[in-house]
Amino acid sequence: MKAKVAINGYGTIGKRVADAVAAQDDMEITGVVKTRPSFEARIAQEKGYDLYTTARENIEQFKKSDIKVSGTLDDLLDKADIVIDATPGDIGAEYKELYNKHGIKAIWQGGEEHELAGFSFNSEANYKEAIGRDFARVVSCNTTGLVRVLYALDTAYGIRKARVTLMRRAADPNDIKTGPINALVPDPIKLPSHHGPDVNSILPHVDVTTMAVKTSTTLMHLHALNIELKDTPGEDAIINLFKERPRIRLVSSSDRIKSTAEAMEFAKDMGRPRGDVWENVVWKDSISISKGELYFFQAIHQEADVVPENVDAIRAMLELERDGARSIAKTNKILGI
């Protein structure tokens, strides 16, 4: 019997996780929760997902829009084994009591604090610790992207110190309200940024400091990484290390992938759903050892990289698979990573 998964919040992350879960052979979507009718709700219906809404008084609105609603979040939580909370940042915390009341396991996203779940998750770094847990938080897109490379490097060579500048996309492609259109915004101004401590929620012993800037783009975050390793290998060794990781994709400027825009176009041409890039995109030709320190660039698709992590977290928490590497391989194979 397949594990029953509820999705609370069917936006940028929720709809992607829903499709990734539905594609697996050991889990299924019991229902998705949307506050208001929208094109996304309509497409969810066309895909065959049962739609639920947050409160009974919203049902009328869905009826008017000719979208069938099967009930409320409360109804859904009684039918599922686990809920993916993909509600907007800081809203998810408000649902903890409700999830507790229904005795349902829950996975929050990186917009919530570590303390809410008491456990932060990354498939490669700490799958084992997630087994059987009731609550987990899949860390943010940026943190997921950082943990993937830092975990690999720390395991192989030991990290003495990592210094990262995060150039963040300002808005998602469908967001028409957010700026800046033409500016660079140090955010936060106060340094170092919170991204380093967030990495430490998964890799507590890694010394990492971060600076972050919002940039006028909607396509991917870009990380400029400087890392002092305890053992310094050659550039080829780093390339081979990354090649072997399940969720790092090496690209090259000689292949004409020279920017976040071309990396996204590449994913579209590969036929990826919604043009998603689930892996870290690491520029192979940026990998450089200079004066004993490692430098490279990576791009992170903010809408997508946490999606396979959510699938693995479900598998660990519901004990569908006790081996992290096997869950990752299974998720990757089905998604086509």
Q: Is 114 annotated as a binding residue?
A: no
Binding of residue 167 to a copy of itself (CB under 8 A): yes
CA 180 to chain centre: 23
Orientation angle between helical segments 307-317 and 12-23, nearest 10 degrees: 60
Least gap, CB of 56 to a copy of itself (angstroms): 42
Q: Decide if 116 contacts 93 (C-beta within 8 A).
A: yes
Selected binder of a copy of itself within 71, 192, 273, 275 (CB under 8 A): 192
Q: Tokens 């979507």 identify what position? A: 29
**Burial class, 116, CB count within 10 angstroms (exposed 0-12 / middle 13-18 / buried 19+):** middle
To the question of whether residue 111 is assigned a binding role by annotation, the answer is: yes
Is 108 one of the binding residues for a copy of itself (CB under 8 A)?
Answer: no
Does residue 59 bind a copy of itself (CB under 8 A)? no
Helix spans in the chain (H):
12-23, 39-46, 59-64, 73-79, 96-101, 114-117, 123-130, 141-157, 195-200, 235-244, 260-269, 307-317, 324-335
By CB under 8 A, residue 178 contacts a copy of itself: no
Q: How far is CA 171 from CA 7, 202, 219, 319, 320, in A?
A: 23, 26, 8, 36, 36
How far apart CA 89 and CA 108 sit, in angstroms, is 9
Let me know the angle formed at the C-alpha of 5 by 42 and 328, rounded to the nearest 5 degrees.
110
Joined together, the tokens standing for residue 94 give 């408000």
Least CB distance to a copy of itself at residue 264 (A) = 8
User: DSSP assignment, residue 285?
Assistant: G
Residue 200 CA to residue 162 CA, distance in Å, equals 12
Is 22 one of the binding residues for a copy of itself (CB under 8 A)? no
How is residue 267 written in tokens? 């994913």
User: 61 among the known binding-site residues?
Assistant: no
Binding to a copy of itself in span 273-312, by CB under 8 A: 283, 285-288, 290-291, 293, 295-297, 299
**Binders of a copy of itself in range 199-238 (CB under 8 A):** 207, 209, 211, 213, 215-220, 222, 224, 226
Minimum CB separation of residue 214 from a copy of itself in Å reads 8
175: tokens are 């967001």
| 141 marked among binding-site residues | yes
CA distance 337 to 288: 26
Judged by CB under 8 A, the number of residues near a copy of itself is: 46
Quick one: which of 59, 98, 116, 185 contacts a copy of itself (CB under 8 A)? 185
Residues in 62-101 at the binding interface with a copy of itself, rule: CB under 8 A: none
Q: Measured from the CB atom, is 29 or 212 closer to a copy of itself?
A: 212
Burial class (CB in 10 A: 0-12, 13-18, 19+), 281: buried
Q: In the annotation, is 123 catalytic?
A: no
Closer to a copy of itself at the Cβ: 214 or 330?
214
Instruction: Give residues 244-263 in contact with a copy of itself (rule: CB under 8 A).
Output: 253, 258-262
Shortest CB 191 distance to a copy of itself, Å: 4
Cβ-based nearer residue to a copy of itself, 113 or 235: 235
Q: By CB under 8 A, tell whether 239 contacts a copy of itself.
A: no
The residues annotated as belonging to the active site are: 141
- Residue numbers in the known binding site for D-glyceraldehyde 3-phosphate are 140-142, 195-196
Binding site for a copy of itself (CB under 8 A): 163, 165, 167, 169, 180, 182-187, 189-192, 207, 209, 211, 213, 215-220, 222, 224, 226, 253, 258-262, 283, 285-288, 290-291, 293, 295-297, 299
